[in-house]
Amino acid sequence: MTTQTMRASVLVEQGRLRVDEVRIPEPAADQVLVRIASVGVCGSDVHYFQHGRIGDFVLDSPMILGHEAAGVIVAVGAGVSPDRVGRRVAIEPQRACRVCEQCRHGRYNLCPAIEFYATPPIDGAFAEYQAIQADYAFPVPDSMSLEAAALCEPLSVGIWSNQKAGTAPGSRVLVAGAGPVGVIITQVARAFGASEVIVSDVSAGRREAALRYGASRVVDPAAEDIATLGLEVDAFIDASGAEAAVRDGVLAVRPAGRVVLVGMGADDVTLPVSRIQNRELILTGVFRYANTWPLAIELAASGRVDLDSMVTGRYGLDDVEAALTATTDPRTLKAVVRPGD
């Protein structure tokens, strides 16, 4: 490459973005350099923009947001085959140490040394280029759009959540929250063979979206008490982060069922512990994903999960703030940033 700099949307400080010229990353020996075509906007991006932190991760220097990314390989490191140049890829936006106990057991998402795009101090992909380890850049078929390839990241959250929930043919699943992650979880549950997927959300528009994407039934938790509906589902997956939704969802699970917490809410919530004990419910959290990209690409490329129609807005690097703000509109399912626009 002849140019040494690129345009990037930089979160300079809480609430303030600026488009800067920054150095193009130099791919290490095991990396590829990707020209970014599409980046989905995630709730974590919005949270960093609005609050400057998520839990223990604090923005203390300028950082590039964006981790749901796809594009085309334009250069490779010394240890990577040059045949990969020109390949269209979906990016798994993390780097594990590969040698710790968690990595050796295949749980590399729990690696204590994990580096993740757009988590301080690691830059993300709201930029024209980004580097990633070669085996975390997954080839996608020509039939698959690069917008869908970028959304393999939230699709991976949906896959991991359903795997944790034990979703299988015939499962009955309750999902709280019909935002983009909840809609993807719903689609994956159907793809995994769930016979019934019940989705709750206080927004009528989002309940309608859930029905379009495979929900068999929707519930307005403001009008109906989910805990008393006698649902007795096999699994409850929370994509809302709302304490009331989590509590009601736990009470809707059959004995020996599963509860999976995905949504980001308060650090501490009150749970019906006696119900969890007496029904021997299995409760787990979700922290990103591991080994999900091949299945994500297969589900999206085969049409079993529809990602393309979820894109409701497209923005250039100069309009990243508008993209972040758009996520607060219930009519928005997925905003994407296209650095080349």
Q: pLDDT tens for residues 220-270?
A: 999 999 999 999 999 999 999 999 999 999 999 999 999 999 998 888 999
Q: pLDDT tens for residues 96-141?
A: 999 999 999 999 999 999 999 999 999 999 999 999 999 999 999 9
Band of residue 48 on the pLDDT scale cut at 50, 70, 90: very high
Closest of 170, 176, 206 to residue 190, by C-alpha: 170
Q: pLDDT tens for residues 305-322?
A: 999 999 999 999 999 999
Phi and psi, residue 253, nearest 5°: -95, 135
Please give the domain boundaries of the chain with CATH numbers for all domains: 5-151+307-337 (3.90.180.10), 155-285 (3.40.50.720)
Q: Find all residues with CB under 8 Å of 25, minimum gap 6, and list them.
A: 33, 129, 130, 131
Supply the pLDDT for residue 1.
Answer: 60
Note the residue count of the chain.
341
286 has which bridge partners? none
Residue 148 scores a pLDDT above 70: yes
Band of residue 63 on the pLDDT scale cut at 50, 70, 90: very high
Compute the distance between CA of residue 78 and CA of residue 312 in angstroms, rounded to an integer: 39
Band of residue 331 on the pLDDT scale cut at 50, 70, 90: confident
Angle between helices 152-165 and 293-301 (to 10 degrees): 110
Supply the pLDDT for residue 56.
Answer: 87
